[in-house]
């Protein structure tokens, strides 16, 4: 029975399939077939032998169950695959399998094949999320709401700004993933300590031809493994994506609080005991899973410092971290896109919260207008601080307090205050910024 929740709860089939044992085995077989082809091209093994190896290097022929059975004796999964492939090859072809190679020539190169496919899926996921964020930014570029800093009402902003900021961040993740792709999609055929000695004087040619066959870049230099700074970088990319999803999720959760209630997820969970509850469980789930992905970073960084030409301490870790990171990140991205598509806005509550502080969110605007009338900036700041505290204490609007204050009423008129205290008149370049983000980033879709 399944144990890990990604097997039955937190995954989508396209990404999950990439990291199944069958898929991993097929990638190993693909690399062995490519190596045999390279040898045949160089004349170091008969071409019919390479063709036989390639024809049998298929999971439907090399059975996973047989590989596992052999592994019980060999205690080495890659070697078990070699023996299983040899069993099904006719003639003397089996004797040429894995010629000159070491296990991680196959495993690291095969992992690059898996990661190429996985990165492709994440790229599509990020673009889908980016598209949804841009749609929301465009639709709500003039939806004025209260901005909050330190959990307190600050200045007016727009929902378009929120979504545009998130969209710009997702766009940077696409850049990061592209950069990491350049370094992670590399393979090697360098032998036990990286000298290529097992290939005689044809080491460079074997590696070049094998990688060409697989569509990968040959590593510039390696020891027994592809160096783990590449994989750690990729895990950091996943963690950064998870961080953004956590940020979006937290904001949406907070905006759904009963006392705020400006937005709402389409599908919210009930309580088992409190019938009135509508819990933001979808965004909460994303925030929780983001912690798992971020938590893998430190252990991934520690795999960089393997001993001598390599030790095997990275292997067990990567069997968990890499599939888990990709499967969960894919799941979170798709879930967030779905949440955003179903997001609803409560205009009445947005307006209520915008006006909750009776004009105090516009004290900066009034202060700057007073400066324009010749009041010193610090003097104007102190005046507005004093009037704001009075407004808080007396629970009266800032306009009313100012028009009753001996100092302030000499400086302002009712008409001016009506203009200055209108949140829609103090948005600066918010709409223009959103328009710029939308116009620029839609080109990436």
pLDDT at 266: 85
208-233 pLDDT per residue, tens: 999 999 999 999 999 999 999 999 99
pLDDT at 268: 67
* 190 among known catalytic residues: no
Mean predicted confidence (pLDDT) in 372-380: 96
Indicate whether this model's pTM tops 0.85: yes
From the candidates 23, 150, 171, 173, give the one annotated as an active-site residue: 150
For the chain, the farthest-separated pair of C-alpha atoms sits apart, in whole angstroms, at 105
Q: How many Å is the Cα radius of gyration of the chain?
A: 30
pLDDT at 28: 98
Q: Which band of pLDDT confidence, cut at 50, 70 and 90, is reported for residue 156?
A: very high
pLDDT at 8: 87
Q: How far apart are CA 153 and CA 318, in angstroms?
A: 45
Which CATH number fits the domain 5-44+99-133+147-345, given the four candidates 1.20.200.10, 1.20.1540.10, 1.10.340.30, 3.40.50.2300?
1.20.200.10
What are 296's two structure tokens? 């893998």
Mean predicted confidence (pLDDT) in 128-151: 98
Mean predicted confidence (pLDDT) in 257-284: 86
Residue 273 pLDDT more than 90?
Answer: no
Q: Which band of pLDDT confidence, cut at 50, 70 and 90, is reported for residue 334?
A: very high
Residue where the block lists tokens 């967030």: 336
pLDDT at 175: 98
What are 60's two structure tokens? 């439907």
Sign of CA dihedral 69, 72, 76, 77: positive
Q: Do the Cβ atoms of 259 and 331 come closer than 8 Å?
A: no
Residue 404 pLDDT more than 80?
Answer: yes
Q: Do the Cβ atoms of 358 and 267 come closer than 8 Å?
A: no
* 39 among known catalytic residues: no
Q: How far apart are CA 238 and CA 297, in angstroms?
A: 9
Residue 3 pLDDT more than 90?
Answer: no
Provide the Cα torsion 76, 103, 294, 284; round to 10°.
-60
Angle at 373 between CA 367 and CA 374, to 5 degrees: 95
Mean predicted confidence (pLDDT) in 150-166: 97
CA within 13 Å, CB half, 84: 28
pLDDT at 189: 97
pLDDT at 7: 86
Residue 271 pLDDT more than 80?
Answer: no
Residue 302 pLDDT more than 70?
Answer: yes
Q: How far apart are CA 278 and CA 286, in angstroms?
A: 17
Mean pLDDT over the full length of the chain: 96
52-89 pLDDT per residue, tens: 999 999 999 999 999 999 999 999 999 999 999 999 99
Provide the Cα torsion 104, 106, 111, 116; round to 10°.
140
Same fold, 5-44+99-133+147-345 and 354-426: no
Q: How far apart are CA 228 and CA 239, in angstroms?
A: 16
- Which residues make beta-bridge pairs with 437? none
Q: How far apart are CA 160 and CA 141, in angstroms?
A: 4
pLDDT at 279: 87
**What percentage of residues in the chain have a pLDDT greater than 70?**
100
pLDDT at 85: 98
Sign of CA dihedral 243, 244, 245, 247: positive
Residue 166 pLDDT more than 80?
Answer: yes
DSSP string, 238-303: HHHHHHHHHHHHHHHHHHTSTTT--EE-SS-B--SS-TT--B-HHHHHHHHHHHHHHHHHHHHHHT
pLDDT at 124: 98
The domains of the chain are located at: 5-44+99-133+147-345, 354-426
Mean predicted confidence (pLDDT) in 197-202: 96
pLDDT at 272: 76
What is the CATH architecture assignment of 354-426? Orthogonal Bundle (1.10)
From the candidates 4, 76, 271, 313, give the one annotated as an active-site residue: 271
């Amino acid at each position: 029975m399944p144990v890990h929740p990604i097997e039955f709860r937190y995954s989508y089939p396209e990404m999950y399939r990439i990291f199944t044992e069958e898929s991993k085995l097929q990638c190993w077989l693909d690399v062995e077939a490519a190596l045999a082809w390279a040898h045949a091209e160089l004349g170091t093994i008969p071409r019919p032998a390479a063709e036989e190896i390639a024809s049998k290097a298929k999971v439907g022929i090399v059975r996973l169950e047989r590989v596992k059975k052999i592994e019980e004796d060999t205690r080495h999964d890659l070697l078990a695959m070699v023996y299983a492939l040899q069993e099904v090859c006719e003639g003397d072809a089996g004797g040429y399998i894995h010629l000159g190679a070491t296990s991680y020539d196959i495993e690291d190169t095969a992992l690059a094949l898996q990661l190429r496919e996985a990165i492709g899926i994440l790229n599509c996921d990020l673009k889908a999320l980016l598209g949804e964020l841009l749609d929301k930014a465009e639709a709500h570029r003039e939806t004025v709401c209260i901005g909050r800093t330190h959990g307190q009402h600050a200045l007016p902003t727009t929902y378009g700004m929120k979504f545009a900021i998130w969209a710009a961040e997702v766009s940077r993740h696409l850049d990061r993933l592209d950069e990491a792709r350049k370094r992670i999609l590399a393979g090697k055929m360098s032998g036990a300590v990286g000298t290529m000695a097992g290939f005689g004087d044809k080491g460079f040619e074997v590696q070049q031809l094998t990688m060409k066959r697989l569509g990968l870049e040959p590593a510039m230099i390696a020891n027994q493994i592809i160096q783990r700074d590449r994989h750690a970088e990729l895990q950091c990319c996943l963690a950064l994506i998870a961080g953004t999803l956590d940020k979006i999720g937290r904001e949406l959760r907070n905006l759904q609080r009963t006392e705020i209630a400006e937005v709402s997820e389409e599908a919210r969970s009930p309580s088992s005991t409190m019938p009135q509850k509508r819990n933001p469980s979808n965004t909460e789930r994303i925030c929780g899973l983001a912690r798992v992905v971020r938590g893998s970073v430190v252990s991934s960084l520690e795999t960089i410092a393997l001993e001598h030409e390599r030790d095997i301490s990275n292997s067990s870790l990567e069997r968990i971290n890499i599939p888990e990171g990709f499967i969960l990140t894919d799941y979170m991205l798709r879930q967030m896109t779905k949440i955003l598509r179903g997001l609803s806005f409560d205009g009445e509550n947005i307006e209520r919260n915008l006006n909750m502080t009776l004009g105090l969110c516009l004290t900066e605007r009034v202060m700057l207008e007073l400066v324009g009338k010749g009041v010193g900036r610090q003097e104007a700041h102190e005046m507005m601080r004093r009037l704001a505290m009075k407004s808080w204490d007396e629970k009266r609007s800032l306009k009313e307090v100012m028009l009753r204050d001996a100092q302030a009423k000499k400086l302002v008129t009712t008409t001016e205050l009506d203009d200055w205290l209108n949140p829609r008149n103090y948005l600066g370049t918010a709409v223009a910024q959103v328009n710029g983000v939308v116009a620029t980033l839609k080109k990436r879709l």
